[in-house]
Amino acid sequence: MSERYQHRQGLIAQFISENRGPLLVTPALAVLVVMNIFPLLWSFGLSFFKYRANRIKEPEFVWFKNYVKVLNDPNVWDRFQTTAMVVSIDVLLQLVVGFLLAMLFEKSFPGRRVLLMLVLTPMMLSFVAVGAFFRYYYEPTFGLLSQAIKAITGETYILLATPEGAIAGIIFADMWMWSPFVMLLVLAGLVSVPKHLYEAAEIDRTSAWRRFWTITFPYIRGLLLLAILFRTIEAFKLFDVVWIITEGGPGTSTETIAIYVYRVAFQYFKTSQSAALGYILLFAVIVLTNLYLFFVRQRAAEEGG
Amino acid sequence: MARRREIGKAGWRRTAVTAAISFIYFFPVLWIILTAFKSHTDALATPPKFLFSPTLDNFVAVFSRAYQRGGDAVDTKFDLFFFNSIFIAGTSVLIALIIGTLAAYAFSRWPLKGNDLYMFIILTTRMLPPIIVIIPIFLMFRVTGLAGSYVGIILLYSAFNLPFTIWMMKSFFDEIPTEVEDAARVDGSSEIKIFFKICLPQVKAGIAATAVFGLILTWNEYLFALLLTGIETRTVPVAMATAIGGDIGVRWGLLAAIETLFLIPVVLVTFLLQNQLLRGVTFGTIKR
Amino acid sequence: MKLFKKGKLALLAGAMAMAVSGAFGSFALAADVTINMAVPDWPPTRIMQDLANKHYKPKSGNNVTISLDFIPWPNYYEKLAASLTSGEEKYQMAVSDSQWLGAFIEGGYYMKLNKFIDADPELQAIFKDLHPNLVASYSTYPHKTDNFYGFPQMPDVLVTYYRSDLFCDAGEQSAFKAKYGYKLACTPAEMSDTDWDQVRDFGEFFRRSSGDSLAGQTLNDDFYGIAYQAGIGYDFNTMQINGFIWQHGANIWDETKAPTGQALGVVNSPTAVKAFEHYLSLLEFMPPVVKTGTMDIFKTDELFREGKVAWNIQWIGFGESAISAETSKVADGTDFAQMPGLRNDDGSITRWSNIGGQPFVLTTWNSDLVTQESVDFVKWWLSSDTQHMFAAAGGQSGLQSVHTTDAYMDYRPWNHAFGPQLNWQKDVWHIPEFFELLVQQQQTFDKAITGQISAQEALDSIAVFQDELLREAGHIE
């Protein structure tokens, strides 16, 4: 009895030591499969049916009809264009501002920890508060921006009155909120530049500009690419701030694809159509993810070599 | 392997410029905090007021206020919402940290067949806009009855945090040299002992950074929280919207007070773990 | 595996508990019933909770708990929709905007009430006493049929808010008379007798710049004459534009005429275009934020309470905060009147307006006991005493036997406008495709409000969109 028990114990121990990797990975994968992958497959299946969550009717299999419908929807392409424009300008500005901020904090000085916190706070704010307060900052009667401009020019300034202004307003708010993220990335790169390289450059009396391109930039290049992809993927999710500041207006000029998916799914309750739209978006995200990994691996290869 | 460079010292001019720019950058936040201390008459005054007599009324109103003119003050349940936010964010970050660290350790030490593919799939789930995931999760919650429960939202946030945790922690494990572990193995130490006594202490910084980043990402999550929490499990970002709309546009003082209070925990944690943050933000893919 | 076992155990325990409670339930003297109700978070629902806690004693003798889930207004729709369609069956009752009736009735979430009404003379009396326009908008689906679903919780209409301290100021009175040749309205009765041409004059007359004088005082900021909603969010321009369209004699797509009622040629009829142009023509006298297309009911409310505008059209639901010194800088000088309309040749005024407010509804997944308690609660809520208490605390009553009494007129300064205005209410669509119609219309109106397209272009685009959508959905054949 006890021998058999020991034998069994031994088998279990052997099984565990032979399958350590899979066993340790299992809990994490289980959570991901249940909470992410399973629902995704479910909606993938659903995207081939005709189904609305607010109707009693049974789902009806319709093949690719939802995909055809989504791809033929001019609104989808319009919202994609808006999103692409917002994302590209937004990310570019975040890079520039984030980079400049990182340069400021590169060196140590008294109060650095506290000042760094001041710059980091925007990304800790709630979207509701950022949305409501930026809408107020832009508002022509009470808003700080308009008041400041009026004090200088004497004219009432209405930023959100034109599609261009509204897009600028959205981008500015999001850029302000997330540039600190880029700053931290760049800062991580900056502090990883080996000091002896700078010392060598100083002996060679290299110009600051050249020093930047030959020493600093190679160390942050990978991080910058990373920041671009990271923020691009994040900006694709742009929803709450737009929803509160402009609600997609004037007209539909600031309606992002994320807002459109939300409307289709929750306001129109075209459940299966929104799933199809989701999958088309997912395809775009996977392409971006692969690009991201491609750049990172290339960088790793460069470093290794 | 390059060693971390010692940080240079900045001159006073650079310090002054940095301080000035930091304050300008912080100004929109400062205005929110100032508004939290303003009375109703001062909140929207034109021209805007920088000097005013501060009041704590807004902070009191966060927790208890009268909903009808001349009526009694009623408990707003915000103490519960603050608890929920801390409990849900804390628990889900912790769960993600525990199972994510185990998985990362495995991915790092005993690569599976198709390790890269697994890592990629995990990353993909993190990269999904929540708007896509919400639809199927919503349908799944509908079937399993998880809607409105702590378990549902905590599991969801754990999954939300996992990919990030795994990628971060894997890179930290990748970085520590395996010689010590191998020596311990030869000495006959158990795997459990090696993991807890040798590996974990070396990645303490990584754990701290991962926790902070997970917390920042979870703290203000809005869409999942709005749709999947119930009366008793509501978090602050959702409840905060109560200061907007209804019988009055925006209760500026109230909104600002809630946001100010809500900032405190996450700012504190971030400040305490600031040094680790610089490391964490590279998402674990950058090796030094 | 363990989890599953535990789950089974829990299920079993639950089933046993249910069996036990079922068995003893019939013997017990008083059953415990909890009615969870989804409600938007604002005074009318807070007052209801307060009154229920203090005064509600169920006739059945059961221990009934009325538990309101206060959900912030900005996300109320999404939250309610998610809860209903997710099948969590959390709410036994809900406060619903009347326009959502179709979407949620078709999903099988709202309960049809006819059998209760047929069996209950008290309920029949209540329905008879309710203003017919409220029954049509809050209760019937399909619209204006004899299928009943809801009861008024907080009926609401658009009324005029104005600064009586400015309109009655002697200096302003004489200056206005000199400029326009007629008396500037001052009392609520005079203000209730105004038409849009007068409103235009108010807008022009009270437009002052920083440094100008207003009612004897020098302004330190720009001041504007008039405001009404012109915001892209939710229904924050449609609600006002519909009033203009109906007043001019044009129409929106009429769901009661389906499937023969048309959108093309009706929605964009020449009269409708004229009505929309009329709406647009007054925007130039409004605060500058109107140019952004985001001047919703909350913004106009804020502008009014901060003393930046002399005259505003607003839901009655905002009245309390306008006359309360804690939230309003113009609490003392504010008065109320009926919403303006178009003047007819005989001097009368056509005042069609879009109804607001919310009914409450019962959900379909409740036991007979819970349903009966819910109906009893509704009957208590719509009893004369409760309605008077509600009105005294700042709410509105849809019962004609309540809102026509002298006591009712004294509760709040806007109450005199409520009853007469109720006679002029119509409603926007109630069909399940409501949100698709609304979003496209809001966005297209917004383009016209921000000057991107003309009124004609806007209405043409809306008509084409509605025709296509309604045909596909089978509402037009």
Question: Using one digit for the tens of pLDDT, what is the confidence trace for A71-105?
Answer: 999 999 999 999 989 988 999 999 999 989 998 98
- Provide the shortest C-alpha distance from residue A53 to chain C (in Å): 6
Q: Does A135 touch chain C (CB under 8 A)?
A: yes
Residue B104, phi then psi, degrees to nearest 5: -65, -40
Vertex C109, ends C106 and C110: CA angle to 5°?
90
Q: What is the mean pLDDT of chain A?
A: 85
**E-assigned strands of C281-403?**
294-295, 309-315, 334-338, 342-343, 349-350, 353-354, 356-362
Cβ contacts of A127 within 8 Å, gap of 6 or more: A240, A241, A244, B220, B222, B237
Is the per-residue pLDDT at A199 higher than 50? yes
Is the per-residue pLDDT at A256 higher than 80? yes
Nearest to B244 among C47, C72, C394 (CB): C72
From A135-144, A214-223, C120-129, the region with the lowest mean pLDDT: A214-223
Q: What is the mean pLDDT of chain C?
A: 91
pLDDT of the residue at C15: 44
Strands across the sheet with C150-156, in order? C63-71, C32-40, C93-95, C356-362, C150-156
For the A66-304 domain, the top CATH level (class) is mainly alpha
Is the per-residue pLDDT at C14 higher than 60? no
From A188-202, C226-240, C399-413, the region with the lowest mean pLDDT: A188-202
Q: What is the mean pLDDT of residues C260-289?
A: 96
Cis ω for the linkage preceding B47 (within 30 of 0): yes
Contact C102, C432 (CB under 8 A): yes
- Provide the shortest C-alpha distance from residue C58 to chain A (in Å): 33
In order of B262, C348, C416, the CA distances from C167 in angstroms are 44, 22, 19
pLDDT in tens, B3-46: 444 456 778 888 999 999 999 999 999 999 999 999 988 999 88
Dihedral (CA of B174, B180, B182, B185) sign: negative
In chain B, whose CA is at the least distance from the CA of C319?
A: B247
pLDDT in tens, B264-286: 999 999 888 887 666 544 444 44
From A49-53, A131-135, C204-208, C358-362, the region with the lowest mean pLDDT: A49-53
Nearest to A56 among C107, C294, C444 (CB): C107
Chain-chain contact of B255 with A105 (C-beta, under 8 angstroms): no
Domains in chain C, CATH or no CATH each: 32-156+357-426 (3.40.190.10), 158-354+430-472 (3.40.190.10)
Nearest to B259 among A109, A126, A293 (CB): A126
pLDDT of the residue at B173: 84
**Residue C3 pLDDT level (bands cut at 50, 70, 90):** very low
* Nearest in space to A149 (alpha carbons), one of B29, A141, C218: A141
Tell me what percent of the residues of chain A surpass a pLDDT of 70.
92
A61: tokens are 């299999």
Tell me what percent of the residues of chain B surpass a pLDDT of 70.
90
From B118-127, C179-188, C355-364, C383-392, the region with the lowest mean pLDDT: B118-127
- SS in 3 state form for B234-275? CCHHHHHHHHECCCCCECHHHHHHHHHHHHHHHHHHHHHCHH
Location of each CATH 1.10.3720.10 domain in chain A: 66-304
Which is higher by pLDDT, C95 or C2? Answer: C95
Determine which of A136, A269, A272 to mutate to test the interface with C (most C C-beta atoms within 10 Å): A269
**Residue A300 pLDDT level (bands cut at 50, 70, 90):** low
Cβ contacts of A220 within 8 Å, gap of 6 or more: A186, A189, A190
* pTM (predicted TM-score): 0.90
pLDDT of the residue at C345: 95
Contact C359, C139 (CB under 8 A): yes
Name chain A contacts of C303, Cβ cutoff 8 Å.
141
Helix axes A74-104, A217-235, angle to 10 degrees: 140
Contact C263, C463 (CB under 8 A): yes
Q: Does C287 touch chain B (CB under 8 A)?
A: no
- Provide the shortest C-alpha distance from residue B51 to chain A (in Å): 15
A38 vs B224: CA distance, rounded Å: 17
**Residue C25 pLDDT level (bands cut at 50, 70, 90):** very low
pLDDT of the residue at A222: 65
C367 vs B149: CA distance, rounded Å: 23
Residue C20, phi then psi, degrees to nearest 5: -60, -50
Nearest to A117 among B15, B166, B271 (CB): B271
Q: What is the mean pLDDT of residues A263-270?
A: 88
C169: tokens are 């100021």
From B11-20, B188-197, C60-69, C382-391, the region with the lowest mean pLDDT: B188-197
pLDDT in tens, A54-63: 777 788 898 8
pLDDT of the residue at C459: 98
Is the per-residue pLDDT at A148 higher than 80? yes
Burial of residue A15, with CB atoms counted within 10 A of its CB: 0-12 exposed, 13-18 middle, 19 or more buried: exposed
Q: What subunits make at least 3 CB pairs under 8 angstroms with B? A: A, C
pLDDT of the residue at B126: 67
Cβ contacts of C7 within 8 Å, gap of 6 or more: none
Is the per-residue pLDDT at B161 higher than 70? yes
C245 vs C231: CA distance, rounded Å: 17
Helix (H, G, I), strand (E, B) or coil at A14: helix
Chain-chain contact of C439 with A263 (C-beta, under 8 angstroms): yes
Is the per-residue pLDDT at C301 higher than 90? yes
pLDDT of the residue at C57: 93
From A93-102, A212-221, C86-95, the region with the lowest mean pLDDT: A212-221
B274 vs B208: CA distance, rounded Å: 9
Is the per-residue pLDDT at C314 higher than 50? yes
DSSP-derived pairing of the beta strands C309-315 and C158-163: antiparallel
- Provide the shortest C-alpha distance from residue A216 to chain C (in Å): 45
pLDDT of the residue at A192: 65
pLDDT of the residue at C22: 44
pLDDT of the residue at B135: 65
ipTM score assigned to the predicted complex: 0.87
* Number of separate helices (H) and strands (E) present in chain B: 15, 2
Q: What is the mean pLDDT of residues A170-183?
A: 93
Q: Does A160 touch chain C (CB under 8 A)?
A: yes
> Residue C15: CA atoms inside 13 Å, Cβ hemisphere, count?
6
Tell me what percent of the residues of chain B surpass a pLDDT of 90.
37
Vertex A133, ends A127 and A134: CA angle to 5°?
85
Domains in chain B, CATH or no CATH each: 12-75 (no CATH), 78-280 (1.10.3720.10)
C154 vs C411: CA distance, rounded Å: 16
In order of B145, B220, C63, C174, C381, the CA distances from C362 in angstroms are 21, 34, 19, 56, 14
Chain-chain contact of B244 with C318 (C-beta, under 8 angstroms): no
Give Cα C82 distance to the centre of its chain: 22
pLDDT of the residue at B224: 86
DSSP-derived pairing of the beta strands C294-295 and C93-95: unpaired
Q: What is the mean pLDDT of residues B116-123?
A: 80
From A11-20, C333-342, C398-407, the region with the lowest mean pLDDT: A11-20
pLDDT in tens, B46-77: 888 889 999 999 999 999 988 888 788 889 89
**Residue B247 pLDDT level (bands cut at 50, 70, 90):** confident
C4 CB neighbour count, 10 Å cutoff: 8
Helix (H, G, I), strand (E, B) or coil at A204: coil
C191: tokens are 């203000």
- Provide the shortest C-alpha distance from residue B241 to chain C (in Å): 6
pLDDT of the residue at C26: 45
pLDDT in tens, B69-102: 878 888 989 999 999 999 999 999 999 999 999 9
Give the burial string for B197-211 (b: 16+ CB within 10 Å, else e): ebbeeebeebbbbbb
A167 vs A88: CA distance, rounded Å: 12
pLDDT in tens, B1-11: 334 444 567 78
**Residue C4 pLDDT level (bands cut at 50, 70, 90):** very low
Q: Which strand (E) or helix (H) includes residue A294?
A: helix A271-304
**Residue C74 pLDDT level (bands cut at 50, 70, 90):** confident
Chain-chain contact of C452 with A158 (C-beta, under 8 angstroms): no
